[in-house]
Amino acid sequence: MTDEWRKKYRLEALQAVTKRSAFGNDIDLSDFVTVPRGERGLDEDVKRKSLEVGVDVEGRKGGTYFQVDHSVLLSQLASRIKGVEMMPTDEALNKYEWLRAYYWKALSVSQDKYTAIAELRQTKGYFIRSAPNEKVEQPIQACLYIGTEGVLQAPHNIIIAEEGSELNIITGCTADSRAKTVAHVGVSEFYVKKNATLVFTMIHSWSDEAYVRPRTGVIVEEGGTFITNYVTIKPVRDIQSYPTAHLTGKGAKAKFNSIIYASKDSIIDLGNRIYLMAEGTSGESVFKVVSTGTSKVYNRGQIIGQNRNTKGHLECRGMILCPTSSITAIPELIAEHSDTELSHEAAIGRLQEEQLHYLMARGIQPEQAIGVLVKGFLDPGLPGLPERLQEEIRSKLALLERKSSPEEPC
pLDDT of residue 338: 96
Range of lowest pLDDT (107-111, 178-182, 345-349, 397-401) = 397-401
Task: Identify the DSSP state of 139.
Answer: P
The pLDDT of 313-324, averaged and rounded, is 91
Residue 69 in this model has a pLDDT that exceeds 80: no
pLDDT of residue 39: 61
The helix, strand and coil proportions of the chain, stated in percent and rounded to the nearest 5, come to: 20, 40, 40
CA 296 – CA 14 distance, rounded (Å): 32
Percent share of the chain, pLDDT over 90: 55
Q: Which residues on adjacent β-strands are paired with residue 145?
A: 68, 174
The pLDDT of 356-384, averaged and rounded, is 72
Range of lowest pLDDT (67-81, 283-297, 340-354) = 67-81
CA angle 92, 94, 97 (to 5 degrees): 90
Residue 404 in this model has a pLDDT that exceeds 50: no
**What is the per-residue pLDDT across 158-211, written as a single tens digit (0 to 9) for each?**
999 999 999 999 888 888 888 889 999 999 999 999 999 999 988 888 888 999
**What is the per-residue pLDDT across 1-43, written as a single tens digit (0 to 9) for each?**
457 899 999 999 999 999 999 999 999 998 888 766 556 666 7
**What is the per-residue pLDDT across 244-265, written as a single tens digit (0 to 9) for each?**
999 999 999 999 999 898 999 9
Specify the pTM. Answer: 0.89
CA 54 – CA 203 distance, rounded (Å): 8
Residue 32: strand, helix, or coil: coil
Report how far apart, in Å, the C-alpha atoms of 60 and of each of 98, 138, 140, 197, 291 are. Answer: 33, 11, 11, 24, 35
At 61, is the pLDDT very low, low, confident or very high (cuts 50, 70, 90)? low
Percent share of the chain, pLDDT over 70: 86
CA 45 – CA 18 distance, rounded (Å): 36
Mean pLDDT, rounded, of the chain? 86
At 406, is the pLDDT very low, low, confident or very high (cuts 50, 70, 90)? very low
Query: Pick the residue with more confidence: 67 or 293?
Result: 293
Range of lowest pLDDT (70-79, 128-137, 372-381) = 70-79
Closest Cα to residue 262, out of 346, 177, 324?
324
